[in-house]
Amino acid sequence: MTLHDVTSSVPEIGVAMIGSGLMAKSHTMGYRNVEAVYGTTPYRPRFAVLADAREDLARTGAESLGYERWTIDWREAVTDPDVDVVDIVTPNFLHAEIAMAAIAAGKHVYCEKPLALSAAEAKQMYEAAEKAGVKTLVGFNYLRNPAIAEARRLIASGALGEIWTFNGQFVLDACSDPDVPFTWRFERKLSGSGALGDLGAHIISLAQVLVGPIASVAGINKTFIKTRPEPTGVFGYGSGADLSAPRREVENDDHTSFVMEFANGASGHIEASRVATGRTWHQSVEVIGSLGALQFVQQDIHTLRLYLVGDPADKKGYKEIELGPGHGDYGAFWPFAGVPIGVHELKTIEVNEWLHAIAEDRRPDGDFKEGWRVAEVLDAVEIAAAERRWVDVPVLEEDL
Amino acid sequence: MTLHDVTSSVPEIGVAMIGSGLMAKSHTMGYRNVEAVYGTTPYRPRFAVLADAREDLARTGAESLGYERWTIDWREAVTDPDVDVVDIVTPNFLHAEIAMAAIAAGKHVYCEKPLALSAAEAKQMYEAAEKAGVKTLVGFNYLRNPAIAEARRLIASGALGEIWTFNGQFVLDACSDPDVPFTWRFERKLSGSGALGDLGAHIISLAQVLVGPIASVAGINKTFIKTRPEPTGVFGYGSGADLSAPRREVENDDHTSFVMEFANGASGHIEASRVATGRTWHQSVEVIGSLGALQFVQQDIHTLRLYLVGDPADKKGYKEIELGPGHGDYGAFWPFAGVPIGVHELKTIEVNEWLHAIAEDRRPDGDFKEGWRVAEVLDAVEIAAAERRWVDVPVLEEDL
Amino acid sequence: MTLHDVTSSVPEIGVAMIGSGLMAKSHTMGYRNVEAVYGTTPYRPRFAVLADAREDLARTGAESLGYERWTIDWREAVTDPDVDVVDIVTPNFLHAEIAMAAIAAGKHVYCEKPLALSAAEAKQMYEAAEKAGVKTLVGFNYLRNPAIAEARRLIASGALGEIWTFNGQFVLDACSDPDVPFTWRFERKLSGSGALGDLGAHIISLAQVLVGPIASVAGINKTFIKTRPEPTGVFGYGSGADLSAPRREVENDDHTSFVMEFANGASGHIEASRVATGRTWHQSVEVIGSLGALQFVQQDIHTLRLYLVGDPADKKGYKEIELGPGHGDYGAFWPFAGVPIGVHELKTIEVNEWLHAIAEDRRPDGDFKEGWRVAEVLDAVEIAAAERRWVDVPVLEEDL
Amino acid sequence: MTLHDVTSSVPEIGVAMIGSGLMAKSHTMGYRNVEAVYGTTPYRPRFAVLADAREDLARTGAESLGYERWTIDWREAVTDPDVDVVDIVTPNFLHAEIAMAAIAAGKHVYCEKPLALSAAEAKQMYEAAEKAGVKTLVGFNYLRNPAIAEARRLIASGALGEIWTFNGQFVLDACSDPDVPFTWRFERKLSGSGALGDLGAHIISLAQVLVGPIASVAGINKTFIKTRPEPTGVFGYGSGADLSAPRREVENDDHTSFVMEFANGASGHIEASRVATGRTWHQSVEVIGSLGALQFVQQDIHTLRLYLVGDPADKKGYKEIELGPGHGDYGAFWPFAGVPIGVHELKTIEVNEWLHAIAEDRRPDGDFKEGWRVAEVLDAVEIAAAERRWVDVPVLEEDL
């Protein structure tokens, strides 16, 4: 007989997914695809349980995503003995409570951004995990994108010289329509800040891994759409709007624009907007240094633009480097350069890092400490904008 | 107890994967992700068996991709009772034999492109499947890309008026280096044509679904790199080159460029190249009509460019439509517009169509008939280039 | 005899050019080309006299640019009876003195930007011209660019709704090399601010014509290259560097980045840099409103990008409007759309406005008042950056 | 007295302009701006006479463009003793007759493209000029564009290795509207071919200077808009359409698409269209070789895209070289890189070459010989398209 049974000695890891929305889907596919993409994996996922407060979402989410069990009580999930890691993909206000419970139960915790509603809360989460000795990860899923991986490598190698300026944007128009309903994202006690925490947090994390700690900020936040209709149906992306009821006042920023000084003396600017009419999903970073510069637009996911001062005088110019097997984890996806990788696929890269960090007992790239450092900047920007002044961000000695 | 077991009544479908390379990975992830992406699926895949002529590749491929069994004899796989569908992701010369065997065994067959080494062979495969009543699909994985889905819809709706011209390119530089080794792709009896069949076939399929049947062609094929070193190691993307041995003569085209007349009177041009220095993976189509025009560059996967004659005089211009939930199957991936979808993710769209066609007992979009029609054009281009003349392509009455 | 003499009744206007550098060339070609470009002109230029403090530059400049006479004493030029208009294209520190003398002599004055070294000085110049009843113009040569003309029209028409955000950049790398010599541009008392006044002034003028008066600013200025070598040869673009002498300390900003609030509540950001490694000459503006948005990159001079919220749901996206005869003065250059217009050619548009304003006895678009309003913002940004605080900009009642 | 008179010893050259349309304007500005742009000139233009068959156009054209005299009889102009050079900017069918008369009168002749209605006619013109010893130039105004100048230099230097493929397009939609009136451009005996000669001629000239002589062609020409209304008013760009009269049948091609083989074995494709819906004025070339590749889009006039195989493996990609003083004649316009040069300004480059060639008694770049070689290709494409076959182009020994 020539048909051979496959055997595998890869250990399992039990996953609890807390939440059933878009990120639940993205995380789950990430876990599921790691081994096919990379050819090997330190763990095979066992999709132990999915929790959602709404029974219908918990049941259908668990079924379509392939979980063994479902529950409407996340506490059951985070303490389940089959569970090794807890993924938190809920609205922001639940992050801290769930994470603290999971840490207390000795689980590794992988939480979506922003990590918490304040820097103080984020710090508490970070310290609890440290103390418990569990691994943590924040879903800053652009940090290990092949383009950003290569940008980090180039900057660290000194190829760009002394870094002078950083520009970053994450602007989209998902909420430009004044009749987008008032879901949790618009409510301060459930979401914290608005575009700042939801979108700006990604760019702050990129700024800090590329340039170093941000030391002070000044800026302006705006809520251009003052009121929104009450939501109907699910309390997320699929919500409808009840246009007949009184409108509710929006409680956080639609748009933030702030300048900053980095600890190393570089100058920076970040803009985040959820009402950037005409921009569907635009994320970009630019880093300029004395010896070179680079630009990356997330939508042009196959290309990193690089300029080097040392090029010959008649051949100076930005080069469009087509990302390929030599850049970050690109080669796990394609053996030749230039093929677009999807944003869901970036989660596979993140999950791979996650599983390796657990297996190798090391801190993953972008863990709760990074989430906390980002939260410090978020807090500073909020104060700076509210009080129209420059605000210093505490910088850790060890990060300099 | 609040932890509920998930139950599912979705039937299984047994998959045999013949081949273990890049497309084996892409097909397998496609099957695996359908339910998570779409929320529902007509079938859940059972990864029954993977076959590869090389034992090491068969075993490691089956393990990392999650197949139950492996074999070095594809005949075992295609006749296995656990198998319902056979995916053929081998070098081109094996497509016909495997497909005919699978059809004979009553399996549905999903084959990579080009379908066969000649139109005659492709026709035979198509007719065999018709007679056997099995479903078939060719891996023209760009046909259902959200951008192309929307382009098809727009053209069918008459939004572009009478179609005048088509331009298409699939050019890359994977083989620009003269020391890329002589693998099966360079050998006529194993691969058929070169860039024409490997890359041009995709553009021909797009041309025909967008504009209609191609009626005649004239063009020029070139083999710019006349000899290549013998390969070492695996006979695919990972091959090394034996630079000490005598070099082998390349047997098919590196580059093809041909003009065409469509049955409806439109004019067209297609270029395909595997030695397009500087182009890593560039695929583009442009359709111009009397009332509008559209452009799509596969690397800019989030955008379809559209021009409409009817726009106001002071506001004329190409519009960059950010693809979103209203375009093709985009909404299965993201609830908001503009996010890049990866090329592996396009396979998920293709597999979803495949599973639905089987479940609904209908012909899938892009089946062996389309593969055969493309093969007719490939044959015509080869003759036209070899004999330096215009060659007519037989057009089926039913396709007009 | 069929050869007829051409007669013209167009009156002459005598021009004195103070300076012989790049802008002398650009202004002179502007005057010379107006009639050919527009087909008619209110005045034909008489190139009466060119002045430059250096005799060789005065003589060769006058000859190659076609002036009748030359002088090394600008006072002779501005009081010459053959002169009707005085063009000031000198280093910044001379603007005020020459302009005041020309105004005193009853001449119309066309001065390059920034108008003066401080808002107080600019105000004085504006008021003197008002009192003398002469026309004035500042060389904000992007204000009437076909793209900006159309952008102004669109915004004024309400097509973009309530304006929410403005972003503008003028960044280039002309001074990225630390061995670019210390010419007048780096010396505070000759130039005033650095990148801020030289480049930022253009963007401030665009911001104010597009969005309205800027009401407050906060920002950060940086001098990344602290010292530069002494210059040799001419004291302008052609200077060499004396690398053997001690280096001189740079006295103004290489880079400025500031956020702002407009009087109408919009939020904005402007960046200007003369050390933007990799950017040769990048100027861009973006205006986002509740009903639409627009983007313009000066290097892509043939295109204005426009997004309108009211577009159909499946056809939303930025439109690349190819500028044509319906946009600003484009039609004077080309009868069909999409042809690039050179930056020197923009001066022809500016000179045409200038000559028409004189002939029609009206204030030209972008006169000394606008120069003064821009100077107020420049002053505020300098204070804001130096004192790390928000600074209010005085806004005129009449500009609201 | 410090005002000095300017004296110049630059000799004059008398110009006769035959035609008063767009190109008359562009040529005249070219002559007028040479000295200001370049700082020196071998000749100063004397605008002796302008001729146009229509009295009103002759008179107003001469006045606004600054000619001394006007006439409705071009024969008077070309034999006028004040005239040294004759510029022919008339409809195509008049080129040969005027040029032959001007040559017979011993004048240098600068003629717009296409040079003639047939290769035979073009050859006759070339030979007559050779015999008469006068200089000639064809208005292929893209040949000396800084980007193309640099591309020519790079290719000649071997930087791109062996040239493999050429792609070129000149496509626009000026005639996409079926109600664009039937002017001379649509009539065979007045215009010769349509888009092929009007637009394709430019790309053929670029193909031949970049890659070398074209040896054979096959292609397809299309007239998509079969009839057009009779024109009213002027017989050029400003014509109106008489929609009440019977429509007239279009006599030449709206669109041409042809493949070619160069004498050196390279493969090529050219497309030209006057009905390319959505394309206002798109001109592009791409040259791919064994060691590198380049791309240029005329609308992106400030940038040449260059790829070099020899770049490091992790830094491969197209570089956007911002054109600057080191590239062609760019430095005559701007002392720093990246500033767009207008298409009218390209004529200044061409006129500078023209005046220098006359002064230096040498053949200018792009003279009647090049016009004739292009005409041979135009004839071959017409035959190839009409007879649906490959047609050889005669190649001169000396051009190999």
The token pair that represents D263 in the structure block: 């004498």
Chain B interface mutation, best of D257, D258, D273, D321, highest count of B Cβ atoms under 10 Å: D257
CA A53 – CA A74 distance, rounded (Å): 8
Q: Distance (Å) from the C-alpha of residue B124 to the closest C-alpha of chain D?
A: 32
The token pair that represents A296 in the structure block: 């990356």
CB contact under 8 Å between A257 and C257, yes or no, is: no
Element (H, E) at B51: strand B44-51
Report the SS3 class of residue C247. Answer: coil
Task: Tell which of B95, B110, B138 closes a domain.
Answer: B138
CB contact under 8 Å between C273 and A165, yes or no, is: yes
Cβ pair D90, D53 in contact under 8 A: no
Mean pLDDT of D153-166: 98
Task: Tell which of B110, B138, B166 closes a domain.
Answer: B138
Q: Are residues A102 and A215 in the same domain?
A: no
pLDDT (tens digit, 9 = 90+) per residue, D42-58? 999 999 999 999 999 99
pLDDT (tens digit, 9 = 90+) per residue, C188-234? 999 999 999 999 999 999 999 999 999 999 999 999 999 999 998 76
Residue D4 lies in a domain: no
- Given a cut of 70, whether residue D1 has pLDDT beyond it is no
**Which residue, C339, A197, D303, D255, is CA-closest to B261?**
D255
Q: Are residues D344 and D203 in the same domain?
A: yes
Q: Distance (Å) from the C-alpha of residue D360 to the closest C-alpha of chain A?
A: 28
- The CATH number linked to A380 is 3.30.360.10
CA A32 – CA A26 distance, rounded (Å): 10
Task: Tell which of A117, A138, A159 closes a domain.
Answer: A138
List chain C residues with CB under 8 Å of A279: 293
Cβ pair C141, C147 in contact under 8 A: no
Residue D359 lies in a domain: yes
Per-residue pLDDT, B240: 87
Residue of D8, D66, D341 lying closest to C63 (CB–CB): D8
Residue of C39, C62, C80 lying closest to D64 (CB–CB): C39
Instruction: Please give the residue range of the domain that contains residue B95.
Output: 12-138
- Given a cut of 70, whether residue B258 has pLDDT beyond it is yes
**Which residue, A35, A43, A48, is CA-closest to A11?**
A43
List chain C residues with CB under 8 Å of A292: 277-278
Residue of A nearest to D315 (CA): A321
Per-residue pLDDT, A235: 61
pLDDT (tens digit, 9 = 90+) per residue, B70-96? 999 999 999 999 999 999 999 999 999
pLDDT (tens digit, 9 = 90+) per residue, B172-194? 999 999 999 999 999 999 999 99
- Number of residues written out for chain A: 400
Residue B16 lies in a domain: yes
- Number of residues written out for chain B: 400
List chain D residues with CB under 8 Å of B318: 278
Per-residue pLDDT, D234: 63
**Which residue, B109, B282, B98, is CA-closest to B195?**
B282
pLDDT (tens digit, 9 = 90+) per residue, D179-223? 999 999 999 999 999 999 999 999 999 999 999 999 999 999 999
Q: Are residues B271 and B372 in the same domain?
A: yes
Q: ipTM, 2 decimals?
A: 0.96
CA A27 – CA A36 distance, rounded (Å): 15
pLDDT (tens digit, 9 = 90+) per residue, D254-299? 999 999 999 999 999 999 999 999 999 999 999 999 999 999 999 9
List chain A residues with CB under 8 Å of D322: 316-317
Mean pLDDT of A275-295: 97
Percent pLDDT > 70 in chain C is 98
Residue A5 lies in a domain: no
For residue C378, CA distances in Å to B242, C222, C387 come to 66, 15, 14
List chain C residues with CB under 8 Å of D5: 68-69
Q: Are residues B391 and B248 in the same domain?
A: yes
Q: Distance (Å) from the C-alpha of residue D193 to the closest C-alpha of chain C?
A: 21
CA B304 – CA B283 distance, rounded (Å): 13
Per-residue pLDDT, B234: 63
Contacts 24+ apart (CB under 8 A), B154-157: B154/B292, B154/B294, B154/B306, B155/B210, B155/B211, B155/B287, B155/B289, B155/B294
Per-residue pLDDT, C236: 64
Element (H, E) at D282: strand D282-289
- Name D257's Cβ contacts closer than 8 Å, sequence gap at least 6: B165, B259, B267, B268, B269, D219, D220, D269, D270, D271
Q: Are residues B132 and B150 in the same domain?
A: no
Residue D44 lies in a domain: yes
Residue of D261, D275, D390 lying closest to B389 (CB–CB): D390
Residue A7 lies in a domain: no
DSSP string, D119-155: HHHHHHHHHHHHHHT--EEE--TTTTSHHHHHHHHHH
pLDDT (tens digit, 9 = 90+) per residue, B194-206? 999 999 999 999 9
Residue D6 lies in a domain: no
pLDDT (tens digit, 9 = 90+) per residue, B278-333? 999 999 999 999 999 999 999 999 999 999 999 998 899 999 999 999 999 999 99
Q: Are residues A64 and A205 in the same domain?
A: no
Q: Are residues A36 and A102 in the same domain?
A: yes
- Name A227's Cβ contacts closer than 8 Å, sequence gap at least 6: A178, A247, A248, A249, A250
Q: Are residues C233 and C155 in the same domain?
A: yes
- Going by the DSSP 8-state scheme, the letter that residue A11 receives in this structure is P
pLDDT (tens digit, 9 = 90+) per residue, A124-175? 999 999 999 999 999 998 999 999 999 999 999 999 999 999 999 999 999 9
Residue D3 lies in a domain: no
- The CATH number linked to D24 is 3.40.50.720
**A interface toward C at CB cutoff 8 Å?**
162, 164-165, 167, 176-178, 218-220, 222, 224, 255, 257-261, 265, 267-269, 271, 273, 275-279, 288-293, 307, 309, 318, 388-390
Kindly report the average pLDDT of chain C as a whole number.
96
According to DSSP, the β-strands at D85-88 and D108-111 are parallel
Percent pLDDT > 90 in chain B is 94
pLDDT (tens digit, 9 = 90+) per residue, B112-127? 999 999 999 999 999 9
CA D354 – CA A109 distance, rounded (Å): 74
Per-residue pLDDT, A157: 98
- Name D398's Cβ contacts closer than 8 Å, sequence gap at least 6: none
The token pair that represents B356 in the structure block: 């639905």
Kindly report the average pLDDT of chain A as a whole number.
96
Q: Are residues B290 and B170 in the same domain?
A: yes
C287 forms beta bridges with C166, C294
Mean pLDDT of D164-169: 98
Element (H, E) at B288: strand B282-289
Which chains border C (3 or more CB–CB pairs < 8 Å)? A, B, D
DSSP string, C274-335: S--TT-SSEEEEEEEESSEEEEEETTSTTEEEEEETTS-GGG-EEEEEEP-TTSTTGGGT-S
Mean pLDDT of C335-347: 95
**Which residue, D211, D198, D218, is CA-closest to D273?**
D198
- Given a cut of 70, whether residue A316 has pLDDT beyond it is yes
Chain A interface mutation, best of D319, D320, D327, highest count of A Cβ atoms under 10 Å: D319
**Which residue, A279, B292, B222, A239, is CA-closest to D260?**
B222
CB contact under 8 Å between C320 and B316, yes or no, is: no
Place D235 in a pLDDT band, splitting at 50, 70 and 90. low
When divided into structural domains, chain B yields a total of 2
Q: Are residues B188 and B108 in the same domain?
A: no
Q: Are residues D245 and D187 in the same domain?
A: yes
Per-residue pLDDT, D359: 98
Q: Are residues C226 and C322 in the same domain?
A: yes
